[in-house]
Amino acid sequence: MSLHEISPTELRLKPFTAFDRDWALVAAGDEDGFNMMTVSWGGVGTFWQRPVATVYIRSSRYTKTFVDSHDLFSVSFLTPGHRKALNLCGTVSGRDVDKVAKSGLTSVFLSGGQDVPEVPSFAEAALVLICRKALVIPLAPETFIDPDAKDAMYGGADMDNYHTMYIGYVEKAYSSATK
Ligand SMILES: Cc1cc2nc3c(=O)[nH]c(=O)nc-3n(C[C@H](O)[C@H](O)[C@H](O)COP(=O)(O)O)c2cc1C
């Protein structure tokens, strides 16, 4: 199955299962170097009158350095049967391991538009959203309204390992589904 471009309006994504249960890969970089990690927090919707995807990346993640140093990132939802690869990409760091080689995933580079470098994703994806960073907000504990969030999410081994929220305009969407 090869990926072909679709309009974001054609998406048949179930947001509450696609992230939380099925998981996705966030990838950024270019042909000279990229990294990816598994995410289960995220969403899709509308912001500043545009279709967007939002992801949350802790400050410790190697992938964050690639998302921060590139204008575009991808969110890839894999076809069923790649749980092992998703587990690997969510438990080891690209600082220590070649995750593409180890996961068996096949990297592909997809257009994010004219005059921009292509964006890393994976041939095993059922759906890919190529996103251009529109808003980047490091989460700060003094802004938390939920009194339990700080201890629940940023204690123990993740003490002060806060997430940054990335809202990206969906510049392109690709699907492997047959029309
Ligand atoms: C199911 C699952 C979901 C995850 N979701 C997130 C997430 O939304 N945000 C985040 O910062 N880390 C998340 N992680 C952790 C990263 O994927 C993990 O730390 C990864 O090894 C980081 O790799 P990197 O250092 O190569 O970027 C998740 C891990 C798993 C297994």
Residue spans per domain, the chain:
4-175
Q: Quote the mean pLDDT of the chain.
A: 97
State the pLDDT at residue 1. Answer: 64
Mutating to test ligand 1, I would choose from 21, 54, 61 the residue with most ligand atoms within 8 A of its C-beta, which is 61
| Mean pLDDT computed over 90-117 | 96
pLDDT higher than 90, residue 91: yes
**pLDDT score, position 179:** 65
Asked if residue 43 has its Cβ within 6 Å of ligand 1, the reply is no
The answer to whether 174 touches 78, Cβ cutoff 8 Å, is no
pLDDT (tens digit per residue) in 22-73: 999 999 999 999 999 999 999 999 999 999 999 999 999 999 999 999 999 9
> Is this model's pTM higher than 0.95 or not?
yes
Four-way CATH pick for 4-175: 2.60.40.3880, 3.40.50.2000, 3.40.1400.10, 2.30.110.10: 2.30.110.10
Q: For 3-111, where are the alpha helices, taking DSSP H only?
A: 15-18, 62-69, 83-89, 99-103
Cα 103 to the center of its chain, rounded Å: 17
CA separation for the pair 82, 87 (Å, rounded): 9
Residue 105 phi, psi dihedral angles, 5° rounding? -75, 155
Spatial CA neighbour of 46 closest among 38, 35, 34, 54: 54
Residue nearest to atom 13 of ligand 1 (CA): 39
- The yes-or-no verdict on residue 76 having pLDDT over 80 is yes
Q: How confident is the model at residue 178 (pLDDT cuts 50, 70, 90)?
A: confident
Look at the chain and count its residues. 179
**108 pLDDT above the threshold of 80:** yes
Find the Cα–Cα–Cα–Cα dihedral 19, 51, 112, 61, rounded to 10°: -40
Find the 82 Cα to ligand 1 centroid distance in Å. 16
pLDDT at site 123: 97
Percent of the chain with pLDDT over 70: 99
Q: At residue 104, does pLDDT exceed 90? A: yes
Specify the 3-state DSSP secondary structure of 7. Answer: coil
Check if the beta carbon of residue 86 is closer than 8 Å to that of residue 23: yes
